[in-house]
Amino acid sequence: MRDTALPSTRLTVAVVGLGGIGGALAMALRAAGVHDVLACARRPVERLVLERDGAEVHLPLRVVTDPADAGPADWVMLCTKAHHTPDAAPWLARLCAAGTRIAVLQNGIDHAARTAPFAGDAAILPVIVYYNGERIGPDRVRLRQVSSHDLVVADGPDGQDFARLLEGSGLRVLCTDDFRTRAWRKLLLNVVVNPVTALTLQRQSVARRADVHALCLDILAEAVAVAQADGARIGGDEPERIMKMLHAAPDGLGTSMYFDRLAGRTLEIEALTGALVAAAEQYGLPVPINRALLTLCRAVSDAAPG
């Protein structure tokens, strides 16, 4: 078996999905130059430009568009939207072997469950993403770091190896002993900003409106009760804390569902508000506002042209 604990070991890292999150990650790893990076995408790209901290990084990127051209990798970074996980099955079948580890950089609280049917013998590491990645052109991606850490994983051998893997990339990894609480905290943020920005077709700054701010607090009050019932260590002041963070965010930040609606794509609503409503049903908790948002976003998603 290979020794992935050695930081000097050069590994093969495959990034599946070259949108905002995957594109920024692939380029950050590529710029670090520590490992061999392979991007798996639907369309060919010879190089990407990474915008970060007011600077640009121009580098060629190895991209394959046919799973038949890929082989086993040490690490697979699954960066598709959660509802597109089944579409990644042909890639995972080619990239995964007994020693492969899949880092699932997706939204939601059930990373492992949704990926397991396609993972084969590979190990799965759920990852919470905090950086803001935006694909702003066919050959350009923008990375904004908006938190004290960019990625969060459960503390343990796989999580620590993941942190070592990203050394030199500029992406900061936090290993936590309470991943459940962290995952719920991210979901709480997502069930506010994603539906609201997608339905209003405005970026996150729309939450600064007094009426939208009040609505967001009500959305979060319902969601916090569900998170607490599911074992997350979250206090009653969480809605105010999240809204304070949103108000402090830089102008111009969008969300994945906002960008998807602008592009006429289906929405990732089931992994976000859908997961919250499902958990509320499990614990017998009322979430009428979130149910209304789920219904509206489903209708928008079903009408998306593709």
Mean pLDDT by 10 residues, the chain (306 residues): 51 96 96 97 92 93 97 98 96 97 96 96 97 92 93 98 97 97 96 97 95 98 98 96 91 90 96 98 98 98 88
The fold for domain 180-302 equals: N-(1-d-carboxylethyl)-l-norvaline Dehydrogenase; domain 2 (1.10.1040)
Question: Positive or negative CA dihedral for 135, 115, 230, 267?
Answer: positive
**SS3 (DSSP) at 260:** helix
Amino acid 305: pLDDT: 85
Cα separation, 11 vs 4, in Å, equals: 8
**What residue has token string 């492969």?**
100
Catalytic residue list contains 186: yes
Residue 127, classed as helix, strand or coil, is: strand
pLDDT at 251: 85
Query: Which amino acid does the sequence have at 86?
Result: P
Question: Is the separation of the CB atoms in 70 and 15 below 8 Å?
Answer: no
Q: How much is the pTM?
A: 0.90
Burial class (CB in 10 A: 0-12, 13-18, 19+), 6: exposed
Read off the tokens for 219.
């959305």
Backbone angles phi, psi at 135, to 5 degrees: -85, 105
Contact 141, 79 (CB under 8 A): no
| Amino acid 306: pLDDT | 64
Cα separation, 60 vs 36, in Å, equals 12
C-alpha–C-alpha distance, residues 173 and 285, integer Å: 34
Q: Has domain 12-177 been given CATH number 3.40.50.720?
A: yes
Task: Order the strands of the 63-64 sheet from edge to edge.
Answer: 63-64, 36-40, 12-16, 75-78, 101-105, 123-129, 151-154, 173-176
Distance CA 22, CA 80 (A): 8
Calpha distance 243→47 (Å, rounded): 38
Residue 9: the pLDDT is 84
Q: Please check whether residue 94 is in contact with residue 68, taking contact to mean a CB–CB distance below 8 angstroms.
A: yes
- Alpha carbons 207 and 205: distance in angstroms, whole number: 5
Q: From 41, 102, 101, 103, select the one nearest 67 (Cα to Cα).
A: 41
Q: Same CATH topology for 12-177 and 180-302?
A: no
Phi, psi of 121 (to 5 degrees): -90, 0
Tokens encoding 264? 């006429």
Q: Tell me how far apart the alpha carbons of residues 153 and 17 are, in angstroms, rounded to a whole number.
A: 20
Domain spans, the chain: 12-177, 180-302
Cα separations in angstroms, 79 against 92, 209, 292: 12, 32, 28
Question: Which candidate in 186, 195, 216, 269 is catalytic?
Answer: 186
